[in-house]
Amino acid sequence: MSRLRPSSTGHRPDGTLPLINIVLLLVLAFMMAGTITEPLPAGFDPLRADAEALPPALSEPLLVFVDAQGQILVSGQAQSETEIEQKLQALKQSAGRVEVRADAAAPAGRIFFLLTAAEKAALSDLKIVTLGRTR
């Protein structure tokens, strides 16, 4: 009979265990479903298009942002045209990739400059990346 009675000296199960379980599941969900990448600059409204989904990449690309004012940003720092050309030349040497993420209101001339600079550097792997259109 004594075995059926709850022990008065035993510890009660901790009430925080379900909380930890849920939080761990959330951590796992974010780790598996999300992509860790450089955040978009503040106030950035990405370009949208009906385009092909970006194929999975084996290496991390150089992220180049073009904001609504036409500034070209790499790692949050504004770049001059010369600096960008040098970066593209260096990427060509290391067979790197570039992804251009432009604001919808970015001047077309800045994107054209990047395309031309990539061609000058003989860099073929420059992609203009957009969000899909919301239907």
What are 134's two structure tokens?
Answer: 């919301």
How many residues in total does the chain contain?
Answer: 135
Q: Which of residues 90-119 bind another protein (CB under 8 A)?
A: 102-112, 115-116, 118-119
Instruction: Point out which span in 44-52, 71-79, 81-89, 90-98 binds another protein (CB under 8 A).
Output: 44-52
Half-sphere exposure of 132 (CA within 13 A, CB side): 6
Residue type, 28: L
CA atoms within 13 A on the CB side of 18: 2
Q: Which stretch, 78-86, 88-96, 126-134, contacts another protein (CB under 8 A)?
A: 126-134
* Footprint of another protein (CB under 8 A): 11, 14, 16-17, 19-20, 23-24, 26-27, 30-31, 33-37, 39, 46-55, 66, 102-112, 115-116, 118-119, 127-132
